[in-house]
Amino acid sequence: MSDNKIKLMFLGDIVGKAGRNAVKNYLAELEEKPDFIIANVENASHGFGLTQKNYNELLSYGIDAFTSGNHIWDKREIFNYIAEADRLVRPINYPKGTHGVGYRVIEKENYKVGIINVLGRTFMGLIDPYWELLTSAIEEIKKETQIIVIDIHAEATAEKICMAKYFAKMRVTAIFGTHTHVQTADERIYEDHCGYITDAGFCGDINGVIGMEYEASVNRLITSIPERLDVASSGESQVNGVVVTIDCLTGKTEAIGRINKIISEEI
């Protein structure tokens, strides 16, 4: 941190062991470390959900906070540890009483970062509306910090853009889209304040299909018969995400840039 500014890195959906290894190696090799790192981890454990072991593993890489999405419940053990996982947020618009929390404020050094996770509603199944929930959460977080980052885990591009435009007016610091695993080239700053990208992309095997094995993926399309999907493991992975420069006093994003790094290794 310098001159009341921080660099915050957001990593797109980490998919399986290939994604975890890619992120580990990428972060270890960075010459200039970001001040704060957030990663989406709903696919981090064999492509579906998050085990406690992998949660702790990713923490050890220096990641400060984790967002998730609709797959966060895929590993049943999540219910055993999510209450103690104080760096993890699940989507805020699950019904009242759902395990875990939809937003957190995390303090590091002499600044605080508010993190909110939300599920989109278009093509995403039944889930509660989020407009009032997000408004309330933003107001609460602003009592502690001006730095507020939202991960909208959603299918529809139009929904993500509409949400970004709407909440940028509330002086949110950044809104990052996840879920499609395909990085978009539309990073920008709304309202001269809010950093945005429709989808940050994913971290995982680059030669599969959004991180999963090609053969099973194409068979499902050809036959329409459900088939088990396994994480691809070609030995060549990618790390996708964004880095934003933030003014800690105002919560303003001053710059945004994409991360698209190819990493070759034996998995």
pLDDT digits (tens, 9 = 90+) for 118-177: 999 999 988 999 999 999 999 999 999 999 999 999 999 999 999 999 999 999 999 999
- Of the candidates 67, 17, 14, the residue with the CA atom closest to the CA atom of residue 259: 14
Alpha-carbon distance 149 to 197, whole Å?
Answer: 12
- Of the candidates 117, 138, 110, 95, the residue with the CA atom closest to the CA atom of residue 36: 110
| pLDDT greater than 90 at residue 2 | no
pLDDT of res. 174: 98
| pLDDT greater than 60 at residue 267 | no
Rounded to an integer, what is the distance from CA 160 to the centroid of its chain? 14
Rounded to an integer, what is the distance from CA 156 to the centroid of its chain? 16
Rounded to an integer, what is the distance from CA 32 to the centroid of its chain? 21
For residue 211, tell me if it sits in a domain: no
Comparison of pLDDT for 33 and 3, the residue scoring more: 33
Backbone torsions φ then ψ of 136, nearest 5 degrees: -65, -45
Average pLDDT over residues 89-106: 97
- Of the candidates 175, 182, 174, the residue with the CA atom closest to the CA atom of residue 204: 182
% of residues, the chain, pLDDT over 70: 99
Alpha-carbon distance 184 to 113, whole Å?
Answer: 25
pLDDT of res. 264: 85
Mean pLDDT, rounded, of the chain: 96
| Tally of domains within the chain | 1
For residue 220, tell me if it sits in a domain: no
Average pLDDT over residues 9-14: 98
Of 46, 71, 153, 181, the active-site residue reads 71
For residue 68, tell me if it sits in a domain: yes
For residue 216, tell me if it sits in a domain: no
For residue 226, tell me if it sits in a domain: no
pLDDT of res. 227: 85
Alpha-carbon distance 216 to 23, whole Å?
Answer: 25
Helix residue ranges, H only, 157-199: 157-168
User: Residue 231 in contact with residue 213, Cβ under 8 Å?
Assistant: yes
Angle between helix axes 157-168 and 131-141 (nearest 10 degrees) is 40
Task: List, for residues 235-257, the tens digit of each pLDDT value.
Answer: 999 999 999 999 999 999 999 99
For residue 185, tell me if it sits in a domain: yes
Is 71 catalytic? The answer is yes
Residues 6+ apart with CB under 8 A from 3: none
Alpha-carbon distance 119 to 90, whole Å?
Answer: 9
**What is the number of residues in the chain?**
267
pLDDT of res. 108: 97
CATH of the domain at 15: 3.60.21.10
- β-pair type (148-153, 65-67): unpaired
Helix, strand and coil in the chain, % to nearest 5: 25, 30, 45
User: Residue 88 in contact with residue 82, Cβ under 8 Å?
Assistant: yes
Residues 6+ apart with CB under 8 A from 58: 14, 20, 23, 39, 41, 44, 66
pLDDT of res. 87: 98
Task: List, for residues 55-82, the tens digit of each pLDDT value.
Answer: 999 999 999 999 999 999 999 999 999 9
For residue 160, tell me if it sits in a domain: yes
| pLDDT greater than 90 at residue 266 | no
pLDDT of res. 115: 98
Residue 22: domain span: 5-205+236-264
